[in-house]
Amino acid sequence: MKTVFSPRHLGHSNQLELVAGAIVPAFEKPSRAQYIHDRIIDVGLGPIIGPDEYDLSSASRVHRQDYLDFLPTVYPRWKEAGRDGTALPFTWPTRGLRGDVVPEFIDGALGYYSFDAGIGFVEGTWDAVKSSHDVALTAANLVKGGERTAYALCRPPGHHAGAGFMGGYCYINNAAVAAQWFLDQGASRIAILDVDYHHGNGTQEIFYRRKDVQVINFHADPMQEYPYFLGHADEKGEGEGEGFNLNYPMRWGTTWESWSAALEDGCRKLVDYGPDVVIVSLGVDTFEKDPISKFKLKTEDFPKIGERIRKLGLPTLFVQEGGYAVAEIGVNAVGVLQGFENA
């Protein structure tokens, strides 16, 4: 299988985040992608190619135009305000406040366009975000061109980014843009299988009222885990989209036995839907040693995820999302891909 990767992700580094009351280096760091990249070479998974440049036309069909216009302006405006380091939001328009006016000053605008404080910007952030988007679309184009599968080694990830907001280390929703791009290229139906530990709230929100994209999420119960405010089992889609959103929330401590039973159920519903392409939002933060997660999947389980997805018998685009146990992220993420290839 071919991998698409861009070293431009490296400019998105030294961001900070707020964890348990302290400002610390962000868990979503450049070494994550480098470990995966190196593992691909070590096991000879296949060629690694750079991305082509894509414009934001498919992105603008899943994101709001004002949001896409805002993203490249963040760091220049931060510097204009006389600052350096990491730009971070810290105040949000919750219930009782005005959510319909974009504040002029950058601190207010950052809050308007985000839903959490885990979303830093440094000088190279926008360029990395754009490269991650290009990586996803370049890999999608390989699948459209007839490859059975392709791997988009995206960094930063995307599944928490909604139509008009960022959060959870995510800016542009790479998987959602790829889904829209396949539809724009003539596909009828796309399924997104999100196996990241965290609920892909952005992907769900983007397609919630649509029936041309089936969104299936396997994730930690939002009663216990980030992103807390979406991802319950009763969220099934609305209007035309009713029945095309499926959530499998699971409790802390979930092991392969019950996790894989959920995957099995979701895969059957995916087959019933009959998509032209499957997009896998591939997070490996379900791993037992992940520093921010509480599921108990083992390294030997990840190839079994790939094997099951292979049995769907459909063109498959893998898009990298989370995974923070950096020493093992390469083995685990590439393990899924090897499981797919060897099934």
CB closer to ligand OKP, 177 vs 187: 177
Stretch that binds Zn ion, among 97-105, 189-197, 294-302, 312-320 (CB under 5 A): 189-197
- Give the shortest CB-324-to-ligand OKP separation in angstroms: 7
Q: Which window, 51-59, 109-117, 247-255, 280-288, contacts Zn ion (CB under 5 A)? A: 280-288
CB-CB contact of 324 with 294 (8 Å):
no
Our CB check for ligand OKP shows the closer of 163 and 292 to be 292
User: Please, which of residues 302-331 interact with Zn ion by CB under 5 A?
Assistant: 322
- Nearest CA among 108, 104, 56, 102 for reference residue 87: 108
The site for Zn ion, by CB under 5 A, has a size of 6
- The residue with its CB nearest to Zn ion is 322
Residues in the chain, how many?
Answer: 343
Cβ at position 284, least distance to ligand OKP in Å = 9
Nearer to ligand OKP, 220 or 246 (CB): 220
Give CA–CA dist 275/60, Å, rounded: 23
Task: By CB under 6 A, tell whether 285 contacts ligand OKP.
Answer: yes
- Residue 198 as a binder of Zn ion (CB under 5 A): the answer is yes
| Residue 116 in contact with Zn ion, rule: CB under 5 A | no
16 strand-pairing partners: 25
Query: How far apart are CB 42 and ligand OKP at their closest, in Å?
Result: 24
**Region 213-232 residues binding ligand OKP, contact defined as CB under 6 A:** 226
HEC letters along the chain: CEEECCHHHHHCCCCEEEECCEEEECCCCHHHHHHHHHHHHHHCCCCEECCCCCCCCCHHHHCCHHHHHHHHHHHHHHHHCCCCCCECCCCCCCCCCCCCCCCCCHHHHHHHCECCCCCCECCCHHHHHHHHHHHHHHHHHHHHCCCCEEEECCCCCCCCCCCCCEECCECCCHHHHHHHHHHHCCCCCEEEEECCCCCCHHHHHHHCCCCCEEEEEEEECCCCCCCCCCCCCCCCCCHHHCCCEEEEEECCCCCHHHHHHHHHHHHHHHHHHCCCEEEEEECCCCECCCCCCCCCECHHHHHHHHHHHHCCCCCEEEEECCCCCHHHHHHHHHHHHHHHHHC
Give the pair of three-digit tokens for residue 285.
């933060």
- The interface region with ligand OKP, picked from 12-20, 141-149, 300-308, 332-340 by CB under 6 A, is 12-20
User: Are the beta carbons of 150 and 1 closer than 8 angstroms?
Assistant: yes
**Does the footprint of ligand OKP cover residue 117 (CB under 6 A)?**
yes
Binding status of residue 218 toward Zn ion by CB under 5 A:
no
With binding defined as CB under 6 A, does residue 322 bind ligand OKP? yes
Task: Tell which one of 169, 182, 197, 302 touches Zn ion (CB under 5 A).
Answer: 197
CB of 199 to ligand OKP, least distance (A): 8
Near ligand OKP in 167-206, by CB under 6 A: 168-169, 196, 198
User: Residue from 30, 51, 89, 118 that binds ligand OKP (CB under 6 A)?
Assistant: 118
Site for ligand OKP contains 328 (CB under 6 A): no
Q: Which residues are catalytic?
A: 160
- Selected binder of ligand OKP within 37, 111, 114, 116 (CB under 6 A): 116
Chain residues binding ligand OKP by CB under 6 A are 17-19, 116-118, 157, 160, 168-169, 196, 198, 226, 283, 285, 321-322
